Structure 1
Amino acid sequence: MVLSSKILARFLLVLAAAVCAVGMITPSLQGVEKNFVPADKAAHFVAFYGLTALMMAAFPKNRRLEITLAAVLLGGSIEIAQMFTHRGVSLGDLSADAVGAFAVWVPMWLQSLRSPPVVERRRRASDAVKEAA
């Protein structure tokens, strides 16, 4: 049985989100990310870059900007949850989360500016077929 890429992406997304949430909320795990990434903000960037990319792969039919904003909201939710677990709340961490999420979205948005929307491409193809006939 072959798993579809969408199902695999959804599985990896749930796994990655759980690891990130536990790592970012649990007080005893504070600073563990320094074993992988030397700077706290870089760890937030990498985590949310990966989460956003997985979200886009898991839900390819959803709008990319909405997925990116959902990732930023997730980062905000984690910062709020940290208030209740006696960890420091940081706008810098939230900013790093947002930059990581938008680092996935911006190149896709720029590419969409280069190529016409699907409807326009279909109309052009239809016009080309009519002209050939």
Structure 2
Amino acid sequence: MAFKLTLCIILAIAALTLTPPGASGPGMPGFDKLAHFLAFAALTMPMAYTRRFPMMWIVLAGASYGGLIELIQPYVGRGAEWGDWLADGLGAFLGAWLVGRISRRGRAG
């Protein structure tokens, strides 16, 4: 189940980040970075919960996916930004770390 959910999140992120730019999201300052952060936190959560893979691999996979998206975006009329990749990586780390902490507590009791 976690793999299927992760795959759905991967596809949603691809659809939202690799389509030509338009009226995506509110024009609030910082919204883009927050959206990246939250999306990549959500991406790593299901697999982190399963505890099938080392947390470092999950975070690296999430951050690598973010980097790949940033490399592809100029080819679909969007701009690549280091700040977006940083938000992706931080979100991937925090999502995996948070779920790792929660799942450990739930299984200890």
Scaled by the length of structure 1, the TM-score of the pair is 0.65
Distance in 2, matches of 1:19 and 1:34, equals 18
2:16 aligned partner: 23
CA displacement at 1:54 relative to structure 2: 2.0
Distance in 2, matches of 1:76 and 1:101, equals 12
Q: Could you tell me whether the CA contact under 8 Å between 2:40 and 2:95 is conserved in 1?
A: no
Pair 1:14–1:33, CA change in 2 (3 A): farther
1:99 equivalenced with 2:90 (yes/no): yes
Give SS of 1:20's match. helix
For 1:14, which of 7, 10, 19 is the aligned residue? Answer: 7
1:81 aligned partner: 72
1:46 aligned partner: 38
Scaled by the length of structure 2, the TM-score of the pair is 0.78
CA displacement at 1:57 relative to structure 2: 3.3
AA aligned opposite 1:48: F
- Aligned length, in residue pairs: 99
Distance in 2, matches of 1:98 and 1:34, equals 22
2:107 aligned partner: none
Indicate the percent of aligned positions where both proteins have the same amino acid: 32
AA aligned opposite 2:83: G
For 1:61, which of 30, 33, 52 is the aligned residue? Answer: 52
Tell which structure's C-alpha radius of gyration is larger: 1
Moved over 6 A (4+): none
Show structure 2 runs of 5+ residues with no match.
105-109
C-alpha RMSD over aligned residues: 2.3
CA displacement at 1:106 relative to structure 2: 4.1
Structure with more relative contact order (C-alpha pairs < 8 Å, separation 6 or more): 2
